[in-house]
Structure 1
Amino acid sequence: MASFSELPEGCIAEILSLTTPADACRAVAIAWRFKSAADSDTVWERFLPPDHPEIVARSVSPVVYATKKQLYFGLCDSPILIDGGKMSFSLTKHNGKKCFMLQARELSISWKDTPSHWKWRSLPESRFSEVVELLSVCWLDIGGKIGTKLLSPKTTHGAYLVFKLGERPYGLDYPAKAVVRFARDREYEAEVGLGELGEDGISTVYLTSPDISRGIYDMAMREPEANARLAQNRKDGWKEIELGEFFNDEGDDDFVKMRLMEIKHLHWKGGLIVEGIEVRPKVEVIS
């Protein structure tokens, strides 16, 4: 019986295309004779999302690549801006699923165009041309939406607010509420408060660690509850807080709506710099 390595290159490529990007890379490490097949467009075309040509065509800058493998890892390592810079697109390296980030201009932010409350500015470390900095509000309400047909099907996604803290942040250590849910377009356009959504799917989040030293004066300041979400540092130098998760089946719903609100205590807040909201596949935990 012929060994696997004796099969025609086309057959080897077809077999590897049914595995994973990691498996295709391992094949080269196992046997150098697999390199041509493992690097072929036949393999890496299968790992790319089916609609990647249409998405890449929407890039604000030309996407240059010689092979589909080069395109795959380029999209994993360097997000591209699409739709006139309104959002970014990238891939998860281990499985090629799609990640999108909505820039701050595309978010629904209360008073975002009021100069006394929010300031639009550019930051060299941002992938977008501008971000928005909170100067002073007592009513913090940030939301966004994304069409589910754009996302990878049969996949659990997380939605994350991506932000930085300014030089003198204040009032951000109070607990906020976050929710992610499916919604039709008409439902999204209606102003719906978190209290009207019921308690299902609503999470408590902290943009900064609570200052519990103020607890004796302010009952809102206490140790975070066990299931509260805390901000995490990202590899790109920003921070993120998970707003919630959802399973995208076949993309039948019109939109996923994401929202963060802190409107209960009505204290003044400032020093929050918002880059956008990222929607990406959650890491699969194998038991």
Structure 2
Amino acid sequence: MDAPAACEIERLPEDLLMHVISLTSPADAFHATAVSRAFHAAADSDTVWSRLLPRDLPQFAKRELPRKPPSTKKGMFRRLSDEPALLPGKYVRMQLDKATGAKCFTFSASALQITQANDAHTPLIRVGSVPGYSKRGKRFSQAADIGHVNILEICAKIQRNMLSQNTTYVAYMVFKLGPRFYSFDFPFQEASFGIAGSQSTRQVCLQGYVEDGDGADVPPRKHIVPSSYHIYNHDSVPPQKNVVFPHKKADGWMEVELGEFHNEGGDGEVSISLTETTKPKSGLIVWGIVIRSKQQKKKQKEEVSNKGQ
């Protein structure tokens, strides 16, 4: 039965195959190469990948792409989805989501606007590579070392037209707590993501972490990390049902979700921020802010789930 079906596919016009595949996703186009020789030829064509590769790619830093760029559109897509590319200034980098082709961005600590009450300069410290993230770009081997502050705002901004249209994005902050941290538990911090007048907001708790449940019926468990300064620890913390807690990464790094934003296209400035203005605090080390497509977030969760099976 399989052989006659394969023969029928081989008889389809190549233009028709290319048109059909170009209406799918990059992930589907990669899978199509295994269907038959005809599908393989169509799925590798520039006709298909000129539709799947974003037409509005940003300007990249000098020498970020090879002098002789990939000879095919598919080769260019692979380059930009396998490894991020630095933008001019080398403070921000972009990478394509391999499943959807959405443009995703990472802001280094140097690209963040960090506002403190006393307008103090936030020093950068060398942290080397952060497990789970690309090493590309020397700016991404540094982190902002936030000491004693009364008011704190961490913000990243990007033009809306740089993001992929009709795409839902999720923003994360990658950080760790320093050796002498305090007062990042309660009151909780405020996070937001979006354009002025249309921002999603939520409360987050940086001085804690969440453990996923062992099964569908077991809810995630949230934990508050006690400070080394007992005077700053709370005997009780208010209910945390709607408060977002970070997930632990490797070597003490954590990743906290700051919000979601659906980009319908158009102009304007998109901002991602985290603020805490209620009391003195200290001991926060911030590596950067990451903007991923929601499809990419779902895929990562599935990969983590599969590893646990």
TM-score norm. by structure 1 comes to: 0.78
Label 1:59 to 1:20 Cα distance change in 2 as closer, same or farther (>3 A): same
Q: For residue 227 of structure 1, what is the amino acid of its counterpart?
A: N
- How many positions carry a matched residue from both structures? 263
Label 1:217 to 1:40 Cα distance change in 2 as closer, same or farther (>3 A): closer
Quote the offset at 1:50 in angstroms. 1.4
Matched, 1:261 2:275: yes
What's the Cα RMSD here? 3.3
Quote the Cα distance in structure 1 between the aligned partners of 2:203 and 2:77.
Answer: 36
Contact 1:107–1:143 (CA<8 Å) still a contact in 2?
yes
Q: For residue 121 of structure 1, what is the amino acid of its counterpart?
A: I
Matched, 1:250 2:265: yes
Quote the offset at 1:121 in angstroms. 2.6
Contact 1:60–1:84 (CA<8 Å) still a contact in 2?
no
Quote the Cα distance in structure 1 between the aligned partners of 2:180 and 2:232.
Answer: 23
Q: Which deviations, in whole Å up to 9, do the C-alpha atoms of 1:196-225 show, x marking residues without a partner? A: x9xx84311012312479799736x51651
SS in 2 for 1:25: helix
Matched, 1:114 2:120: yes
Quote the Cα distance in structure 2 between the aligned partners of 1:173 and 1:206.
Answer: 6
Q: Which deviations, in whole Å up to 9, do the C-alpha atoms of 1:66-101 show, x marking residues without a partner? A: 322222122222111102112110111110011112
Quote the Cα distance in structure 2 between the aligned partners of 1:237 and 1:217.
Answer: 20
Partner residue of 1:227? Answer: 242
Partner residue of 2:172? Answer: 160
Quote the Cα distance in structure 2 between the aligned partners of 1:69 and 1:155.
Answer: 21
Unaligned runs of 5+ in 1: 185-196
Quote the Cα distance in structure 2 between the aligned partners of 1:226 and 1:94.
Answer: 32
When structure 1 is superposed on structure 2, of 10-19 and 159-168 the one drifting more is 159-168
Partner residue of 2:234? Answer: 218
Label 1:216 to 1:74 Cα distance change in 2 as closer, same or farther (>3 A): closer
SS in 2 for 1:110: strand
Quote the Cα distance in structure 2 between the aligned partners of 1:235 and 1:24.
Answer: 33
SS in 1 for 2:24: coil
Matched, 1:240 2:246: no
Quote the Cα distance in structure 1 between the aligned partners of 2:250 and 2:15.
Answer: 38
Label 1:232 to 1:153 Cα distance change in 2 as closer, same or farther (>3 A): same
Quote the Cα distance in structure 2 between the aligned partners of 1:169 and 1:40.
Answer: 54
Partner residue of 2:189? Answer: 176
Partner residue of 1:144? Answer: 156
Q: For residue 184 of structure 2, what is the amino acid of its counterpart?
A: L
SS in 2 for 1:37: helix
Contact 2:9–2:38 (CA<8 Å) still a contact in 1?
no
Partner residue of 2:206? Answer: 207
Partner residue of 1:63? Answer: 65
Label 1:106 to 1:51 Cα distance change in 2 as closer, same or farther (>3 A): same
When structure 1 is superposed on structure 2, of 237-246 and 148-157 the one drifting more is 237-246
SS in 2 for 1:88: strand
Quote the Cα distance in structure 2 between the aligned partners of 1:248 and 1:83.
Answer: 23
Partner residue of 1:21? Answer: 26
Quote the offset at 1:229 in angstroms. 0.8
Label 1:90 to 1:44 Cα distance change in 2 as closer, same or farther (>3 A): same
Quote the Cα distance in structure 2 between the aligned partners of 1:259 and 1:81.
Answer: 22
Quote the offset at 1:141 in angstroms. 1.6
Contact 2:64–2:85 (CA<8 Å) still a contact in 1?
no
Label 1:12 to 1:269 Cα distance change in 2 as closer, same or farther (>3 A): same
Label 1:107 to 1:171 Cα distance change in 2 as closer, same or farther (>3 A): same
